[in-house]
Structures are given as structure tokens and as C-alpha cells.
């Protein structure tokens, strides 16, 4: 992970030294919070929806932002009690679109404020060689206001943090099978109000 961070730093540093007066209309942002947490031990994103990549198309004083996240995890292990084989497959997909206004605070700092809409889907399938299988799926959608602060390192590179207030609703389903037969099926409707203080950091490359 530290090697990836160093490589990303080299790419950004090379972009920073190739400055020009051109006004760039696009930027691509990378969530580096987890990388910084690995390297210097900061960053806590909690239970809030996290997005790894963000794209922004800028106008004169406003912009459209798209953000996404794709996560996948697969794990196989052995139960130490009965020596049965255990398998876990997890997937996580998130998408966000937003409209924001841009306000220059100084030559280096810029405030962005607007509203986001987002959708979240996650799936977890755990199974055992004994025939037991548990499927858990969750879908949420919603939105809310967003406030972001951007610091310009150069014409090509900037850092950004954000604070959001999202209302999310949706459903979750928990299904238990044994030997191909359904034992239980629990479905719930969910309502959440997620607040996030500025605890994430994006590294933006402008082009």
C-alpha cells in the first residue's frame, strides 16, 4: 500500500511542476484517506458512504460531480470446531451524482456547496460445506446537501475534503438456507441520516 502511495505522489508531483495558465474544465479525484491512514495513521471514515473516485466537469461558477466505488472481497477458511469449509463473498457498489456551486475564498482556497443524490448496493454471501448458506443484501438511495473545501497546490493538482448530510432509505434482506431449503427470510425497511465531518481527503488532478 505504501508503494502505491509513493507512486501516486510521484505522478502528482510531476504534474505539479508542469503548470500552465490554462483553465482546466475537468478533474479526477482519488480518495487518499486510507492511504494516509496506512502511512501516517490518520483518517477515520466511520460508517458513512465512502467513494474512491470522483470526476468533476466545471463551468464558470458551477460544476457537475460524479463519484463511484466498487468493492469486492472473497475469503475461504476452515472452521476449527468441526473442520467444515467456510466461504465468504462480499461486494459493494456505490454511485453518486451532484450539482455544486464554486466560491473563491482566496487564491488557494475554494468553497464548493451543493446537493448530491446517491445509491448504494451491497451483498454478502457466506456458506459452509455443511450446507448452510446465508445471503444478506442491502439497497439504499437518497441524498442531501454537501459542503467541500478545496486547496490548490498548483494549476494541475489540488486537495479537497468534504462534509455531507445524507438522508438514506431502502431495504435489507437476510435469507438463510440449509441444504437448498429456505429456513428464514427477514426483510426490513431502513431509514438513516448520515452526517460526515471533514474526515476524508481527495487528491484532484485537473485536465
pLDDT along the chain (207 residues), means of 10: 48 48 85 72 60 94 96 91 91 97 95 97 95 96 97 95 96 94 94 90 95
What is the model's pLDDT at position 82?
Answer: 84
DSSP states of 94-130 as a string?
A: EEEEEEEEEEE-SSSEEEEEEEEEEEEEEEEEEEETT
What is the model's pLDDT at position 49?
Answer: 76
For residue 81, give the C-alpha cell.
470446531
What is the model's pLDDT at position 80?
Answer: 84
What is the model's pLDDT at position 179?
Answer: 86
What is the model's pLDDT at position 39?
Answer: 55
CB 17 within 8 A of CB 187: no
Phi, psi of 36, rounded to the nearest 5 degrees: -65, -35
First to last CA, the chain: 26
Q: What is the dihedral of CA 12, 44, 167, 190, to 10 degrees?
A: 130
What predicted TM-score, i.e. pTM, was given to this entire model?
Answer: 0.79
What is the model's pLDDT at position 48?
Answer: 67
Query: Residue 158 CB: number of other CB atoms within 10 A?
Result: 20
What is the model's pLDDT at position 81?
Answer: 85
What is the model's pLDDT at position 65?
Answer: 97
Give the whole-angstrom CA distance, residue 82 versus residue 80.
6
According to DSSP, the residues that pair with 129 across neighbouring strands are none
Kind of pairing, strands 132-152 and 202-206?
Answer: unpaired
Letter string b/e over residues 79-91, b meaning 16 or more CB atoms within 10 A of that residue's CB:
eeeeeeeeeeeee
What is the model's pLDDT at position 46?
Answer: 54
Relative orientation angle of helices 33-40 and 2-16, to the nearest 10 degrees? 120
Amino acid at each position: 500500500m505504501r508503494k502505491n502511495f509513493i507512486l501516486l505522489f510521484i505522478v502528482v508531483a510531476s504534474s505539479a511542476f508542469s503548470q500552465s495558465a490554462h483553465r482546466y474544465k475537468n478533474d479526477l479525484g482519488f480518495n487518499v484517506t486510507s492511504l494516509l491512514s496506512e502511512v501516517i495513521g490518520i483518517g477515520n471514515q466511520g460508517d458513512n458512504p465512502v467513494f474512491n473516485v470522483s470526476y468533476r466537469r466545471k463551468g464558470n461558477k458551477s460544476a457537475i460531480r460524479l463519484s463511484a466505488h466498487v468493492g469486492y472481497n472473497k475469503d475461504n477458511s476452515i472452521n476449527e470446531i468441526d473442520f467444515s469449509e467456510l466461504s465468504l463473498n462480499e461486494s459493494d457498489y456505490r454511485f453518486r451524482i451532484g450539482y455544486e456551486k464554486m466560491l473563491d475564498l482566496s487564491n488557494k482556497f475554494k468553497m464548493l456547496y451543493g446537493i448530491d443524490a446517491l445509491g448504494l448496493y451491497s451483498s454478502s454471501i457466506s456458506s459452509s460445506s455443511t450446507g448452510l448458506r446465508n445471503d444478506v443484501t442491502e439497497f439504499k438511495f437518497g441524498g442531501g446537501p454537501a459542503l467541500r473545501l478545496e486547496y490548490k497546490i498548483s494549476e494541475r493538482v489540488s486537495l479537497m475534503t468534504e462534509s455531507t448530510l445524507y438522508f438514506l432509505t431502502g431495504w435489507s434482506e437476510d435469507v438463510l438456507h440449509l441444504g437448498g431449503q429456505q429456513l428464514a427470510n427477514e426483510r426490513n425497511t431502513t431509514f438513516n441520516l448520515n452526517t460526515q465531518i471533514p474526515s476524508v481527503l481527495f487528491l484532484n488532478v485537473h485536465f
